[in-house]
Structure 1
């Protein structure tokens, strides 16, 4: 007798995600479980069929083999992965444990939780790199009991209720399910004489100071991983990791776009018309920028190599300076007279003396046009 398609058994499409597969199996299993259908061979067969389908479709490797080769890809007699034979308790417990408060035991050492710390840094430190000290609150192993939870001179003992498993079997209606042991709360151990420092928890909340080396070129969103600097694990387990996430503060002068920096530089009417030199700020100090005559406001100038060296490698970016002409203010009588003479002189020449109005966007376009010529 040929097997039915596993997707058909659970009533899901081939594109169903893990959550949908689990929900579908739960629905079939609740309906056909032998405890709810005593003596019903057909219901028992449907339950086993659904469990077999879930075992394959909930495993990414087995599901991939099944999608590619069908039942032959997971049949042990044909070299496939196969279904692990008539014991469905583990599968059923995984799916229904969250309903009945069960699940697998968690006794014994466990890895501690990872932590995240947001580090606020300046643009200068992000570009050039820096070493920064941070203070991180976390759960660390108790020094008094070395993380055991028991007072010095004593040690935890195996829980007499669950036998060290961390779970007990409970009968709830037609189902026999596993629940977290109420005595040891899943730890599998009992502590008769708890440590006074951590009150039997094995961990205490402390704040530790760490030195973080920020590599040159980082940007907002980049993360640095400090292995073993997260929370200490329960039952003396290994510590998790600390992820330090960068947040670069807004700069008063520069804006960053990838490996390039941008800034605005004020320019006088005289320098714009006749040309000259400007002092331009960079992260390494001021440099001279030669301005050609008849420069329009919004013009972009490139200073090569004055940007950012990417943290993941590559060439150093550039600094792009946009000149912005300043209108003179608080002119005296003589200066106003000179400008009046200039205006009159420019007016005599007609449109040929009128500067072409260039918007900021036109300036950007002209800048990139110049690069291609």
Structure 2
């Protein structure tokens, strides 16, 4: 273990506040969660913790300065020293070279602090990494949850799929989208959020789902709406007409004399059941479309209808 003053980059005359500031700065810089590509990050982080255990403790620091303990906080052996109050004989006393006696110094009572009863550097992690619980030399705290938005296509919302998400942390993840997901629903990615200080559990990522607009289909709650164009003769005569859905084309029966705006409901063709929410429907809204080019025969037919069989669809409006 190197000299703790060297490890923290402070002088032997540094104040307690200067030592604390130096430790905080290095803890942020060298924390393993911030240096995952460095195989020695854990060792570096342990070294600054050990150094601060010595220099950050008002009793251990003077003991180190007087040479009573080493850089790891272990008592040094003293030749010719006899145990008194605050010291106890080690298992190998009297067995040292030249008849020297070795003692394990017990830091307790007024003379110092036993391991675990002195300064606990984990107390500072609440300030450095946003809080934690004290006790037992640990500051285990759950990392922060991160909120993000993921935009999925309407077909993926209906059938399920996988999308690549760019996270606020800069990472890219492939996220599975369950079939039938709603706009505004959240997907929780456990352990993918903010790192936890001092070995705690990482936070989660909460992805709020947005569903991208579709050129044909519009989402209304869990129902999907489609405008279906019909020719004039299909609307008048009726019959079977092919209509698209997000899971493939289907045939629908159009009754004779179907007007524009009439809505036909295809059960279960909207968002599928998900999380106890029932499946939605496909709402097919009829839209009558005339030929794009002028047609003299059609015009003559309409004039004959106008003259011989007029009708008034706007009755009651004016």
Question: What's the TM-score once normalised by structure 1's chain length?
Answer: 0.45
Query: In the aligned structure 2, how far is the partner of 1:136 from the partner of 1:305?
Result: 34
1:116 to 139, 147, 159: 147
Matched, 1:216 2:247: no
Q: CA deviation at 1:214?
A: 1.1
Alpha-carbon spacing, 1:105–1:235, altered in 2? closer, same or farther (3 Å): closer
The CA RMSD over aligned residues, in Å, is: 2.7
Gaps of 5+ in 2: 1-129
- Greater RCO, 1 or 2 (C-alpha within 8 Å, sep 6+): 1
After superposition, residues 49-88 of structure 1 pair within 5 angstroms as: none
1:227 to 190, 193, 199: 190
Matched, 1:281 2:312: no
Name the count of aligned residue pairs: 184
Q: CA deviation at 1:123?
A: 0.6
Q: Determine if contact 2:196/2:202 at 8 Å carries over to the other structure.
A: yes
Query: In the aligned structure 2, how far is the partner of 1:235 from the partner of 1:255?
Result: 49
Gaps of 5+ in 1: 1-102, 139-206, 360-373
Q: Determine if contact 2:181/2:271 at 8 Å carries over to the other structure.
A: no
Deviations 1:203-257 (A, max 9, x none): xxxx333231111111111011111110112233321111111011111111222
Correspondence for 1:324: 287
Query: In the aligned structure 2, how far is the partner of 1:323 from the partner of 1:104?
Result: 60
After superposition, residues 7-22 of structure 1 pair within 5 angstroms as: none
Correspondence for 1:187: none
Matched, 1:296 2:250: no
SS in structure 2 of the partner of residue 285 of structure 1: coil
Deviations 1:71-130 (A, max 9, x none): xxxxxxxxxxxxxxxxxxxxxxxxxxxxxxxx9887734322111121111011111111
Deviations 1:131-181 (A, max 9, x none): 22323243xxxxxxxxxxxxxxxxxxxxxxxxxxxxxxxxxxxxxxxxxxx
SS in structure 2 of the partner of residue 211 of structure 1: strand
Alpha-carbon spacing, 1:258–1:224, altered in 2? closer, same or farther (3 Å): same
Query: In the aligned structure 2, how far is the partner of 1:132 from the partner of 1:216?
Result: 13
Alpha-carbon spacing, 1:280–1:110, altered in 2? closer, same or farther (3 Å): same
Question: What's the TM-score once normalised by structure 2's chain length?
Answer: 0.52
1:129 to 160, 165, 168: 160
Correspondence for 2:220: 257
Q: Determine if contact 2:235/2:257 at 8 Å carries over to the other structure.
A: yes
